[in-house]
Each structure stands twice: as C-alpha cells, then as structure tokens.
A and B are shown apart, each in its own frame.
Chain A
Amino acid sequence: MYTFSSRLKTFAIILMVLGALGIVYGFYMAPKTTADVEAILEKEAAEHHGSHAATETHNTATETHTTTKEQTETGHHATNDATMADTVHADTIAITPVADTHHDAQVVTSVAKTSDITTSTKAVGHEVHDAHADHEKHLNHVLHQLQNKPWAALYVACIFMMLIALGVLAFYAIQQVSQAGWSPVLFRVMQGISSYLPVGSVIFFILLVLSGLHFNHLFVWMNEGVDVIGHENYDALVAGKTGYLNVPAWLIRAAIFLIGWNLYHYFSKRNCLLQDDATDNLYYKKNFNISAAFLVFFIVTESIMSWDWIMSVDPHWFSTLFGWYVFASFFVSGITVIALVAVYMKSRGYLEFVNTSHIHDLAKFIFGMSIFWTYLWFSQFMLIWYSNIPEEVTYFITRIEDYNLPFFGMLVLNFVFPVLILINTDFKRLTWIIVMAGIIILSGHYIDFYNMIMPATVGDRWFIGVSEIGSLMFFIGLFIMVVFTALTKSPLLPKRNPLIEESKHFHY
C-alpha cells in the first residue's frame, strides 16, 4: 500500500491555495465597466507613445472577430467577397516578417478596409458612421475580452486536467481490451490517475452550467437574441445551428458524457479490485467487456465533446478532424502523466515490478502519440492553409497574427523536442529524460488547449499571467491531491490478473 507523503501533500495544498488566490485575483482585476477599459486603453496608448502600432492592433482585433460575421450579411455579400479575399491573402503573406514597405502598406490598407466593413455590418440601419459609436463598440468588445480572461483561464486549466484523466482512462481501457502483457503492473497507477475524473468532471460541469447561466461570455452562441431576427445580436450562421447549439441540449449531452465515462471508471476499478479476491476470472472478463463497450462510447462522445466544449467557442468555424486532434492532444498528455507518476512512485520504492522496460514502453507511446498529434495538427492546418477558404481560414489567421509564439512554439514543444529526445532507445530508459520530456510535453499541450480556447474568448488580449498560472496551479494541486489520495486506497499490484505474471517479468 502506498502512503501519501506529507511533503507531497503539503506541496499540493500550497499549489491549491496559491492557485485559488491567483484565480480570485484574476477575477478581481477584470474590468467591470467600459470606463475601466477606457482607462486601460489610455494607459496602453501612453506606453506605445506616438506609434501607430497600438491602433493597428486594435483594428486587427476587431477584424478577426468579425470577418466571419460578414458572411451573414446577405446584402453586402458580393462587394464583401472581393475585399475579403484580398484581406485573407494579405494576412497570409503577413506571416513572415518581410521588410517591404509596399507590402506593409498593403496589409494596413486591407485591414482598414475590413474594419470599415465591420462597422457597416454591425451598425445595421445607420447610414452614417459615428466615430463615437465606433469607439463605444470597441470599448465594449475589449471589455468582453478582458472579462472573459479569468474565466477562460479557469476553463482551459479545468478541461485540460480533466481530459488528462480521461486520456489515462482511455489508455487503460485500450490496455484491457488489447490484453497487453506489459501493462498490468501499471493498472493501479492508471486507475489512481483517472480517479481525478469524477472530481474534475463535477467542477467542469459547474463551469459549464455557469456559462449556460450567462455568468461569463465564453460561448458567443449563448448570447441573448443571437437567433432572433432583427435583434442587434442576431447572427444568421449561429441561428442556423441552434438546433444543436442550445444550452439545455448542450448541458444534457455534457452530463451524459461525463456520467458515462465516470461509470466506466467506477465499475472498471471495482471489478479490478474484486478480481483480486476472486477464485475465477469472471471479473477480468467483465472488465474486458465493459472496456470494449467504453471504447466505443468514448470515441463517439469524445468527438461530440470536442465540438461542444472546444470547437463551439468559435461557432462560425468547423473542422472535421477536430475531435481526433483534441483526442491526440489529451491522450499523449495522459500517457505522459502515467509515465511521470510511475517514475515518481518507483523512485519512492513503491512499484517493485516496474522496470526500465515498462518506462521504455510508455516513452515509446509518448513518442508515437506526439508524432500522431503533430500529424493531425498539420493535416488540419495545411488543408485549411492550402485552400485558404475565408470562412475556415480566419481560425488560423487569428492564431498566427495574435498568438504567433504560442501557436508555433507549441509545435517545438510537442513535436520537435520529443522527436529529437525520445528517438533514442537508451534515452527512453533514463528517468531524468522522461521527467524532462514529460514536463515539456505537458506544458506544450497546455498551450495547445490554450490556443484552442483563448483566441475566441479573449482575442488579442491574451497573456499568460496570474489568472492562467493560478488556475493551472490550482488544478495541478487538486490533481495531485486526488490522484495520490486515490493511490493510497488500494494495493499497487493487481493480484489475480491473468497477465500479471507476464507483466512482472516484462523485459524488452
């Protein structure tokens, strides 16, 4: 039996307390009114004294949020198309820093054009553009972004840690169904990690309910009047999707998914423990069956989950392989966490039968799944970049323009780094390499989730500051607390698993 080291427990509690303080601070610092925003913007303008850079970024922000909206406007359709293609083209070119004055000018003018269109689309019925109204609109937009910031930070950290537990659960189910001979010595570790799932899903569901009750502005499609023709928030594209994207159905789906996953977690763990004292393999077979059923349920719900909880922050955008992409991201994070926890427990002398071959196997999975993630990332990016269809490509334009470093930086963390480090067989057996690579991969995938949520919720107002780090610290602390408490509850070696002997002597 494992005893929770008091130092680790203290560490987890400190993380949670500091994290909670960070979260509260983030909410406290968020501006309450447009007057606050005005003050913030003035302060920023003073910092960027005399440069036109500040105004330019504001324009880009408005543009990114509204380019997709243009299509809803049927009247301007024909005229918009030309400008739109132009914008998109110029934006794509603007990826690289080219010191070409003509080129720069082109970008600036096209941005200016779009912002004109933006205002004309927004101010339905007003022939004359009122500079003051524009400014008010801009303030309101920035206010929403800044108010979203602490919420989005909380949301990203919460969904990331919960999905890690889910990734571990999926990996565990795959090991059961494939009757892997190497992994049974790690089953209790996997069960321990996926014990975070019930706790994580409750918190996550509460967050979803709060969003549904309009405590925050994370999901644009929940806006008041978004599907009411003539309402100032009316959005024809979103209105067409309300059959799927409506709060009650969305919450019911979330509840079904979370309950389904948690049921599998509960019964699988229980059967595994019952198998320890059984005289036959009935519980093992039961686990096999429910694991197979879970995997079918999982792949369907995982896909829908990614539309509901991640893709729907950008309700104008859609991508077919998004579900797989999200899956690859949290699956590789889950395997990494298994490796990290196993290495930690081993170093404390708790996992007698786990040897370097088991760690090597996990490292191979991390390596392979990192490449799989990159494959999906690239497939999604390249297909959209290549065809450059305006309604799809805005997704990547916002990311490349406003999130350049996190967007391409995560590729280095999630692909280049694991490929170069974990390709070596000897390295895959070294604890310090696994720990280092593991931490880098996990931070890379946090940034991946960050890149999925933030551009749609806070736009160019992103920053990895107190709110983000605080939320992450809180959920990591909670994760450590729950996982290591769960690990103390059952023996670390399954007793009567039919494959346990093979697993104990596993050697690669």
Chain B
Amino acid sequence: MSSNKVIYAIYNDDDVLMDAVKQTRAAHHHIEEIFTPFPVHGLDKAMGLEPTRLAICSFIYGLIGLAFATWMMNNIMIVDWPQDIGGKPSFSYIENMPSFVPIMFEMTVFFAAHLMVITFYMRSKLWPFKQAENPDVRTTDDHFLMEVAVNNNNEEELIAFFQNTGAVEVKVIEKH
C-alpha cells in the first residue's frame, strides 16, 4: 500500500494533453491536478470541473456596494445635515438622487471588483510570500503536467497507460 505515490505525466502540446485528459477520464483514473503554462481552452470542461461561482459573488458584492453608497449618502446629505447646497433639494434621498448616481455607480463597481478579486485570492490561496507549488519548473514555460494518484498497486499499468497517451515523460513521485 503506497497511498501517497503520484504519477507525473508530462506533455509538450496542449492538444495532446486534452486527448490524454479525455482518455484518463474514460479510464476512470482520478486526476489530482494539471499544471499548464497558459490557460488551455476547454480543459476545465474536459476535466469535469465545476463552473466557478465567482460571478455570483461579484454580483452580491456589487449590491452591497450599492447599498453602502446609498446608506452613506442618505445619512450624510439628507439625515445628518441637510444643507441647502446650491439649491439642490435635500429634503429626501430620491429628490437629490441624480447627483448621487455617479457615486452609487462607482461604489458598486468598486465593491464588485475588489471583493471579487480578494475572494479569488483567498479561494485560490494566493498571497505574497506564498511558497510556490510547482512540481516541475518546465510547466511554467512550455510543458504540461498531469498528476494522477497511484492509490492501488497498479503502478506499472498506470505508467504504461500514460506512456500510450503521448506523454514525453512519465515519473512516479513519492509525495510527502
């Protein structure tokens, strides 16, 4: 039983990689991770990854920004000190609303964009001084790497399988 062994199948072409992913999925081997130097169009679909919900988060953040801007300006301009500034009607929020719209818009965009980016960083565990998790430096340049767990004693069979998928290199690594 060697449960923490993984196979690194390395490819040098994204089309070959896509085919290999499809074959691996068809053979029901569990893909742990794939490392690519650039976004490969359709890879997430081929791997069967769930669609992202980042856009939904962003929409909600935008609504929060809009609500915040509205609350803030209502509080400052209408409730707290309703001054007559150049004849603008400060009797109620709606009467002076057109002049608040630019801020409401910007706040919506600001909240939607920044909170979404921060969510992205948190969900993908990215921050300054983070230890890079690259299994092979070549994957940042021109190689594609698929990591598959060897959970049974079928190491030989798996190596043969990945060599047939067009991998330029197949390695078995003991993961800590």
Instruction: Give A contacts to B, CB under 8 Å.
Output: 89, 92-93, 95-96, 98, 378, 381-382, 385-386, 388, 423, 425
What 8 A-B pairs are tightest by C-beta distance, nearest first? A382-B98, A385-B98, A96-B95, A93-B89, A96-B94, A386-B99, A96-B92, A89-B87
Binary CB contact string for chain B from 83 to 98 against chain A (1 if under 8 A, 0 otherwise): 0000101011011001
Q: Is the CB of A382 within 8 A of B92?
A: no
Tell me the interface secondary structure of chain B in the complex.
helix
Q: Is the CB of A95 within 8 A of B99?
A: no
Docked complex Cα distance between A95 and B93 (Å): 12
Docked complex Cα distance between A98 and B101 (Å): 22
A-B contact count (CB 8 A): 24
Docked complex Cα distance between A89 and B88 (Å): 9
Docked complex Cα distance between A388 and B95 (Å): 14
Sample (10) of A-B pairs whose CB atoms are under 8 Å apart? A89-B87, A93-B89, A93-B91, A95-B95, A96-B91, A96-B92, A96-B95, A378-B101, A382-B98, A386-B99
Instruction: Give B contacts to A, CB under 8 Å.
Output: 55, 59, 87, 89, 91-92, 94-95, 98-99, 101
Contacts of B101 in A (CB 8 A): 378, 382
Contacts of A382 in B (CB 8 A): 98-99, 101
Closest Cβ neighbor of B94 among chain A residues: A96
Q: Is the CB of A98 within 8 A of B91?
A: yes
Q: Is the CB of A381 within 8 A of B98?
A: yes
Docked complex Cα distance between A98 and B95 (Å): 10
Contacts of A381 in B (CB 8 A): 98
With A93-B89, A382-B101, A423-B59 given, can you name 5 additional A-B contacts, CB distance below 8 Å?
A89-B87, A96-B94, A98-B92, A378-B98, A386-B99
B108 to chain A, nearest CB (A): 11
Closest Cβ neighbor of A387 among chain B residues: B86
Q: Is the CB of A92 within 8 A of B89?
A: yes
Closest Cβ neighbor of B98 among chain A residues: A382
B150 to chain A, nearest CB (A): 36
Docked complex Cα distance between A81 and B87 (Å): 16
Closest Cβ neighbor of B87 among chain A residues: A89
Q: Is the CB of B95 within 8 A of A386?
A: no
Assuming A96-B92, A423-B59, is B99 touching A388 (CB within 8 A)? no
Docked complex Cα distance between A388 and B94 (Å): 17
A275 to chain B, nearest CB (A): 31
Contacts of A423 in B (CB 8 A): 59
Docked complex Cα distance between A44 and B95 (Å): 32
B92 to chain A, nearest CB (A): 6
